[in-house]
Amino acid sequence: MMCVIKAENITKVFGDLEVLKNVSLEVDRGEVISIIGPSGSGKSTFLRCLQQLEEIDGGKIKIDDKKLGMIFQNLNLFPHKTVIENISEAPIIVNKMNREKAVKRGEELLKKVGLLDKKDDYPCDISGGQKQRVAIARALAMEPEILLFDEPTSALDPELVGEVLSVIKELAKDHMTMIIVTHEMAFAREVSDYIVFMDEGKIIEKAIPNKMFTNPDHPRIKVFLDKML
């Protein structure tokens, strides 16, 4: 396996608060890593550092010349643009793709996430789960080799969660390299090659799902999982 992300001793400070404390993680091509842990443990900040949305205060990040796509909790869809425009805009502007080709690619991706019939709708006209699937299609339109998901289902009603997770499962079957911050324990267990547990700005343990969920090394993880499960 080829390592495509290598984070070494990452630190991140906001004012007097050290949010990340010497966080190190390696991700191989095609791996799915789920990051779990209590709120405020630094999970989302770590993703934002990988995507260079936050400047790190210490350590090194090496990403093997791969393009990263990121799906946020708050979606960030353009409300004044249709679904297909949301997906095709960045390839046209950033990648200088021909509009006709970008729209065709956008339609293919909407079909992949089961939303081709919504291509001319506006974000206000579709459900939260559908918006999240549009956000995934929009990220895929930029042809990333690595996808970062920051709690992709946290803002959704429970009945909408499954439709988003099923899209992510399909991406896992296609061997897309993914790092997923999630509170969906059953999903993390099913889809991940490894689970990473973070607490108080540190990675406490990295293990295969069965080990993490049945026999974690650290007592803090057992307390967390007892509450979550």
**pLDDT tens-digit readout, 16-56:** 999 999 999 999 999 999 999 999 999 999 999 999 999 99
The yes-or-no verdict on residue 1 having pLDDT over 80 is: no
Average pLDDT in the 103-132 region?
A: 94
Chain segment 112-125, per-residue pLDDT in tens = 999 999 999 999 99
Q: Average pLDDT in the 194-199 region?
A: 98
**Fold adopted by 1-66+145-229:** Rossmann fold (3.40.50)
Q: What is the pLDDT of residues 140-164, one digit of tens each?
A: 999 999 999 998 888 788 888 888 8
76: pLDDT strictly greater than 70: yes
Q: Is the pLDDT of residue 4 over 70?
A: yes
Tell me, what's the pLDDT at 65? 67
3-state secondary structure the chain: CCEEEEEEEEEEEECCEEEEEEEEEEEECCCEEEEECCCCCCHHHHHHHHCCCCCCCEEEEEECCCCEEEECCCCCCCCCCCHHHHHHHHHHHCCCCCHHHHHHHHHHHHHHCCCHHHCCCCHHHCCHHHHHHHHHHHHHHCCCCEEEEECCCCCCCHHHHHHHHHHHHHHHHCCCEEEEECCCHHHHHHHCCEEEEEECCEEEEEECHHHHHHCCCCHHHHHHHHHHC
Domain range list for the chain: 1-66+145-229, 79-144
Mean pLDDT of 187-213: 96
Mean pLDDT of 157-172: 88
